[in-house]
Amino acid sequence: MFSLIKLRRVFTVHQVPKAFHEDSIISGYRHPRSSATDCVLSLFQLTNETLNVWTHFLPTWYFLWKLMTVLLMEDALYDAFTWPLLVFLFSCCVYPLASSCAHTFSTMSTCARHICYFFDYGALSLYSLGKRGTHSTETDVIINEHKNVFLSLSVRFSERQSPRLSKVLRILAFAYPYLFDNIPLFYRLFLCVGEGCTDNEANSIHVHHTLFAFLTGFLFATHLPERLAPGRFDYIGHSHQLFHVCAIIGTHFQMKAIESDMVLRQSQLLVTAPPITFNNTVGSSLVCVCISLGIICLYSLPLLYGSSETHPASAKGKKCKH
């Protein structure tokens, strides 16, 4: 197959602009001005991004299959109890798809790279909304999600000035809502004892999901293993690939845990949980998708029409439109 595709040259870290540098990754960079076709073809060539794309593109189809199964087999549209699961599964399809697209097209230009990751972070924020279920009011949910979006997008801007600060802020942007949202779950799993506690088979699946969530955060924050041996894991085994795999496995366990709880706790939840309405499930998600797209446009337009291109080879002040 490779004989049919003209393999593009890959570059070292010293041959691409700073905006494209990845911590402790020395080689395997695609051309920083790749065409869209080159980006797609590069998925069939081993570069330092190839597995980043496939580790999220393939799971997208798995979650899409789960979503279709729930939609078609369980008459979910008429059963409000399954709406939070539908929203969650939809977000599980969107975030890996957005991520794989971002990794695919991020080398078209510096500007494209930033816009690609705006969509990636927007999709992650939708996922963080999807997993909140119906614990919050619509307003809480929207505020929480857009705090994430604003912070993530702002962080992309500061990346050029202070990559380290940008990294810390990005970790906080996702770690803080994750920890805050999961306080009830952590209490249930690790602190609650005796009468009134929920202790069922879903607990062990929640523990698996929690472990993978922490492992995902650890890999993102530490850049291990490539930080220990820069250049050794450029193509296979670097932290971002492992981060993707752990995120997907964690999401899989999370989905299984939610499905288990829905079966095991249905009677209890129908009595004690806030009522499930179109507004606090599907409606909130649709509003969030629209607001997220608006915010992404707001941040992208200055990049597209302003003087923000940072390619060292290009003149300062050149527009980011190519």
The residue ranges that bind Zn ion (CB under 5 A) are 99
103 among annotated binding-site residues: yes
Nearer to Zn ion, 207 or 224 (CB): 224
User: Least separation, in Å, of the C-beta of 87 and Zn ion?
Assistant: 23
Cross-strand bridge partners of residue 11:
29
Q: Is 75 left (phi over 0), alpha (psi -120 to 50) or beta?
A: left
Quote the CA–CA distance of 196 and 242 in Å, as a whole number.
38
> Helices marked H in the chain — which ranges?
36-41, 50-73, 83-105, 110-130, 138-158, 163-181, 183-186, 202-222, 239-264, 266-272, 284-305
Nearer to Zn ion, 280 or 292 (CB): 292
Number of Cβ within 10 Å of residue 253's Cβ equals: 20
Residue 29, phi then psi, degrees to nearest 5: -80, 140
User: Least separation, in Å, of the C-beta of 100 and Zn ion?
Assistant: 8
User: Least separation, in Å, of the C-beta of 156 and Zn ion?
Assistant: 13
Q: What is the CA radius of gyration of the chain?
A: 21
**Which residue of this chain has its Cβ atom nearest to Zn ion in the complex?**
99
User: Least separation, in Å, of the C-beta of 287 and Zn ion?
Assistant: 26
Give the Å distances, CA to CA, from 100 to 40, 134, 156, 215.
Answer: 11, 28, 18, 20
240 among annotated binding-site residues: yes
Nearer to Zn ion, 103 or 206 (CB): 103
User: Least separation, in Å, of the C-beta of 117 and Zn ion?
Assistant: 9
User: Least separation, in Å, of the C-beta of 224 and Zn ion?
Assistant: 16
User: Least separation, in Å, of the C-beta of 169 and Zn ion?
Assistant: 17
Residue of 248, 214, 242 whose CA lies nearest to 227: 242
Nearer to Zn ion, 101 or 320 (CB): 101
> Helices marked H in 106-137 — which ranges?
110-130
Spatial contact of 34 and 17, defined as CB atoms under 8 Å apart: no
Number of Cβ within 10 Å of residue 272's Cβ equals: 8
Nearer to Zn ion, 87 or 248 (CB): 248
114 among annotated binding-site residues: no
Nearer to Zn ion, 57 or 157 (CB): 57
Nearer to Zn ion, 93 or 189 (CB): 93
Residue 11, phi then psi, degrees to nearest 5: -125, 165
Spatial contact of 31 and 249, defined as CB atoms under 8 Å apart: no
**Binding-site residue set for Zn(2+):** 103, 240, 244
**Binding-site residue set:** 103, 240, 244
